[in-house]
Amino acid sequence: GPGRCRSAALGCGAGPGAAASSMKFLLVFDFDHTIVDENSDTWIVKCAPGKRLPHGLRNSYQPGHWTEYMGRVFVYLGDSGVKEEEMRRTMTTIPFTAGMGDLLRFIGENKELFDCIIVSDSNTVFIDWILKAADFHKVFDEVFTNPAAFSSTGYLTVQNFHAHHCPKCPKNLCKRKVLKEFLDKQLERGVSYTQVVYIGDGGNDLCPVMSLKKNDIAMPRHGYTLEKRISQLSQDHSPVECSVLVWSTAVEIASYLKLRIKE
């Protein structure tokens, strides 16, 4: 049941009502193609002259080195005279995934039951702009993504989120490491979760999903890489340990959560 706790030492189920009051879910969201229905790093190209990047720049991406590539894109935009305000205006027109607005409002209204974080390979500036423009920033307890800022000369600069040793992940970000560090930190503060719910679409969401436990749930977006990678693991007879619920719109995610909190 939802009141079960993985750590008896934390006093879960200590008496009547204790289980219900300690029921807490951790919702982990990817950002691009999950919260928003586009890739924010691609959407920014709408600011470029002719809304496209020069060939050489477009072809300069090397697998696993996304932040360096985006750094070059931002230098190009700066050199082209694109200003912060124009970038902000463009980024805040990015569409949310179907049903996501209602889901985030539902989570916001039930914060006593849901802790909610974003782990994304986008950057702090884009995610801040988009969440604040839609008034969703208070829904999230923390956002883990590549730190970005405008330089004194008006250029957007982005850095790697961290360094890690995971061989499966791009050099700047291992989402599994982020999630593990977050859960460890919460446990130190006496917070353990009834269930971790991981919502994402991409190949870099597989590493954290593979670290989820039996009572947790992965929610891969239908038709995207994460869903394919998870079903490939099943076909290879090494399925993920957690439950899996495939979604097409955030309405399905909301339905699941509403059912869980009624238990």
Binding-site entries: 30, 32, 41, 121, 201
**Shortest Cβ distance from residue 24 to Mg ion (Å)?**
25
Pick the piece of the chain touching Zn ion (CB under 5 A) from 29-37, 130-138, 161-169, 244-252: 161-169
**Shortest Cβ distance from residue 16 to Mg ion (Å)?**
42
Catalytic residue among 30, 115, 205, 216: 30
Number of neighbouring beta carbons within 10 Å of residue 174 = 23
Q: Mark the binding-site residues for substrate, compressed into ranges.
A: 41, 121
Binding characters for Mg ion, 5-34, by CB under 5 A (x = yes): -------------------------x-xx-
Residues 183-222 that bind Zn ion (CB under 5 A): 207
Q: Which two tokens stand for residue 247?
A: 């979604």
Residues 186-205 that bind Mg ion (CB under 5 A): 201-202
In degrees and rounded to multiples of 5, residue 117 shows phi and psi of -130, 160
Q: Which two tokens stand for residue 127?
A: 């995610």
Q: Cβ distance 142 to 56 under 8 Å?
A: no
Residues in binding contact with Zn ion, number by CB under 5 A: 6
The residue whose two tokens read 């027109």 is 93
Give, in degrees to the nearest 5, the angle at Cα 218 between 205 and 118: 55
Binding characters for Mg ion, 146-185, by CB under 5 A (x = yes): ----------------------------------------
**Shortest Cβ distance from residue 42 to Zn ion (Å)?**
23
Q: Per CB under 5 A, does 41 bind Mg ion?
A: no
Cα dihedral across residues 150, 153, 158, 162: positive or negative: negative
Q: Cβ distance 224 to 201 under 8 Å?
A: yes
Q: Mark the binding-site residues for Mg(2+), compressed into ranges.
A: 30, 32, 201
Give which of 222, 259, 247 is closest to 25, Cα–Cα: 259
C-alpha span between 143 and 221 (Å, rounded):
20
Among 104, 169, 199, 206, binds Zn ion (CB under 5 A): 169
Q: Per CB under 5 A, does 176 bind Zn ion?
A: yes
Active site residue 128: no
Cα dihedral across residues 229, 233, 234, 236: positive or negative: positive
Q: Per CB under 5 A, does 227 bind Mg ion?
A: no
In degrees and rounded to multiples of 5, residue 215 shows phi and psi of -85, -5
- Tell me the catalytic residues: 30, 32
Residues forming the site for Zn ion (CB under 5 A) = 166, 168-169, 174, 176, 207
